[in-house]
């Protein structure tokens, strides 16, 4: 008697942002299933926002520390769906909404020399991150994660790069240590770099370029720029937003490089949230988005990314984080020093 064999189930195509098929998509759950985890994330993020607003502390750092303090809650399986949703879906939509922070007109206003300088600095800082990672015993993916976070836009870039690389290449523990290092060094840069710019006797244009091209997070860049002078603050904002705009092409290059490195073909090469980032930035560049809508979108982006940081910290494997030691921070430190040196040299010899 003939027997029929069941056809093997087809493995679903991986998400465009998942090079290795090792990140499951955000859980398909009811709101009842998502609510416990999202409630914890919301409470932690709101607490971080309160501390940030009242004491001037960086929002990302506060979200990270509160999430790590709540790390023990990851043992409760009832929270897993909500935590996963916050660390994946909210992250990706937050990256899309970051597009409202930049317009192509602002970027072009810098001029071709400054634009080229920013692109070269970003590329060299990422390269320095990769070389430092290999020197300290890590792989190239961690170097891209750490160097890209320093070179582009701090925590936002770290989250986007980690999502693109996949958990096999960039673990939750590695992402968390990068977020810790980036937050601490960005806060220190906000205080120290304007003092350095004053000591170097830079003009507003030069100081704005150096600060905008070297400080990690957007908020700290603006704080440092306007601490130097209003003119330097305006230039720093434009330079920094230019770095933010480079997030999309860097993510596309990372996808192509690591997909080739793995020897696998993965369908669409550019993550959907990268396309969304470009689309939002393009629409914003046309000036058709009302100011109140753009402001609300930027607030939503900040909230979504802060929630993703909180959820990522709660989900992080603490044992791996503690076992990593100081070496990951050294990689971030090397990339930070390279970014400062290159930005300072460009400000003096190219922009000046």
Helix (H, G, I), strand (E, B) or coil at 191: helix
What is the rounded average pLDDT of the residues 65-75?
Answer: 87
Tell me the pTM.
0.69
Nearest to 239 by CA among 79, 119, 325, 81: 119
Q: Which CA distances in Å does 126 have to 92, 144, 174, 334?
A: 22, 6, 16, 11
Cα dist from 334 to 18, 90, 150, 246, 326, whole Å: 28, 31, 10, 21, 13
pLDDT value at residue 254: 87
Residue with tokens 């920013």: 118
**CA gap 182, 285 in Å, rounded:** 29
CA distances from 143 to 132, 161, 163, 331 (A): 7, 11, 15, 7
Q: Phi, psi at residue 24, to the nearest 5°?
A: -75, 150
Q: What's the pLDDT tens digit per position in 151-187? A: 998 888 888 888 888 777 888 788 888 988 888 888 7
pLDDT at 284 over 90: no
- Using a pLDDT cut of 70, give the percent of the chain over it: 83
**pLDDT value, residue 322:** 63
Q: What is the pLDDT of residue 17?
A: 38
Q: d(Cα 286, Cα 46) in Å, to the nearest integer?
A: 33
pLDDT band for position 16 (50/70/90)?
very low
DSSP state of 101: G
The answer to whether residue 15 scores a pLDDT higher than 80 is: no
What CA–CA distance (Å, rounded) separates 270 from 266?
10
79-121 pLDDT tens trace: 888 888 887 788 778 878 877 876 777 667 778 888 899 999 9
The ranges assigned to domains in the chain are 31-351
Query: Looking at the predicted structure, is the pLDDT value of residue 30 above 90?
Result: no
pLDDT tens-digit profile of 122-132?
999 999 999 99
Q: How far apart are CA 23 and CA 295, in angstroms?
A: 32
Task: Give the pLDDT confidence of 207-262 residue by residue, as tens digits.
Answer: 999 999 999 887 778 778 888 888 888 788 788 878 887 887 888 888 888 765 54
């Amino acid at each position: 008697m003939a027997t029929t064999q069941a056809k093997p189930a087809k493995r679903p195509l991986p998400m465009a942002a998942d090079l290795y098929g090792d990140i499951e998509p955000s859980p398909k759950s009811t709101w009842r299933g998502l609510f416990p985890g999202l409630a914890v994330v919301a409470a932690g993020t709101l607490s971080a926002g309160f501390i940030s607003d009242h004491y001037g502390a960086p929002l990302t750092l506060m979200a990270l520390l509160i999430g790590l303090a709540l790390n023990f809650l990851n043992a409760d399986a009832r929270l897993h769906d909500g935590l996963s949703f916050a660390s994946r879906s909210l992250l990706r939509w937050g990256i899309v909404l970051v597009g409202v922070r930049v317009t192509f007109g602002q970027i072009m206003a810098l001029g071709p020399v400054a634009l080229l300088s920013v692109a070269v600095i970003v590329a060299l800082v990422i390269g320095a991150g990769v070389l430092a990672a290999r020197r300290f015993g890590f792989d190239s993916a961690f170097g891209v994660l750490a160097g890209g976070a320093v070179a582009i836009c701090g925590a936002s870039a770290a989250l986007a790069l980690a999502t693109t690389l996949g958990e096999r290449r960039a673990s939750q523990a590695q992402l968390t240590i990068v977020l810790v290092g980036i937050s601490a060094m960005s806060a220190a840069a906000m205080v120290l770099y304007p003092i350095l710019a004053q000591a170097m006797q830079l003009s507003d244009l030069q100081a704005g370029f150096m600060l905008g091209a070297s400080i990690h997070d957007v908020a700290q860049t603006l704080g440092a720029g306007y601490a130097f002078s209003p003119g330097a603050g305006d230039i720093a904002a434009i330079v920094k937003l230019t770095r933010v705009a480079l997030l999309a092409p860097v993510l596309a290059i990372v996808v192509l490089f690591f997909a080739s490195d793995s020897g696998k073909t993965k369908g669409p090469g550019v993550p959907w949230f990268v396309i969304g980032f470009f689309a939002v930035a393009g629409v914003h560049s046309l000036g058709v988005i009302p100011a109140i809508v753009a402001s609300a979108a930027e607030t939503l982006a900040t909230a979504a990314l802060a929630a993703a940081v909180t959820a990522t910290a709660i989900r992080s494997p603490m044992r791996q984080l503690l076992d990593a030691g100081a070496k990951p921070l050294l990689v971030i430190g090397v990339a930070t020093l390279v970014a400062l040196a290159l930005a300072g040299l460009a400000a003096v010899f190219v922009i000046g």
